[in-house]
Amino acid sequence: MSQLHHSAKQGFSSAAELYQQVRPHYPQEIVPWLQQQLNIAENSHVVDLGSGTGKFLPYLIPTQAKITAVEPVTEMLQQLQQKYSAIESIQASSDQLPFEDASIDAIICAQSFHWFANAETRNELHRVLKPSGHLALIWNQRDIKVNWVNALAEEIAAYEADTPRYHSGAWKQVFADQQQFELKDLTTFPLLHQGSVEQVVSKRLLSTSFIAALPQIEQQRLKAKFEQIVFDFTGLTTQDQIDFPYTTFAYHFQKIANE
pLDDT, tens only, 7-59: 444 444 444 555 556 678 999 999 999 999 999 999 999 999 999 999 999 99
Would you call 94 exposed, middle or buried from its count of C-beta atoms within 10 A (0-12, 13-18, 19+)? Answer: buried
Give the domain ranges of the chain.
6-143+166-192+245-255
Q: What is the per-residue pLDDT for 13? A: 43
Question: Superfamily assignment of 6-143+166-192+245-255 in CATH?
Answer: Vaccinia Virus protein VP39 (3.40.50.150)
Count Cβ atoms below 10 Å from residue 220 Cβ, excluding itself: 13
- The larger pLDDT score, comparing residue 123 to residue 162, is at 123
Q: What is the per-residue pLDDT for 211? A: 86
Q: How do beta strands 181-196 and 241-255 pair?
A: antiparallel
Q: What percentage of residues in the chain have a pLDDT greater than 70? A: 91
Q: What is the per-residue pLDDT for 22? A: 62
Cut 0.85: pTM above it: yes
Contact 57, 69 (CB under 8 A): yes
Query: pLDDT tens digit string along 142-195?
Result: 999 999 999 999 999 989 877 878 988 999 999 999 999 999 999 999 999 999
- The larger pLDDT score, comparing residue 66 to residue 5, is at 66
How many whole angstroms separate alpha carbon 221 and alpha carbon 232?
16
Phi, psi (deg, nearest 5) at residue 183? -75, 120
Q: What is the per-residue pLDDT for 5? A: 42
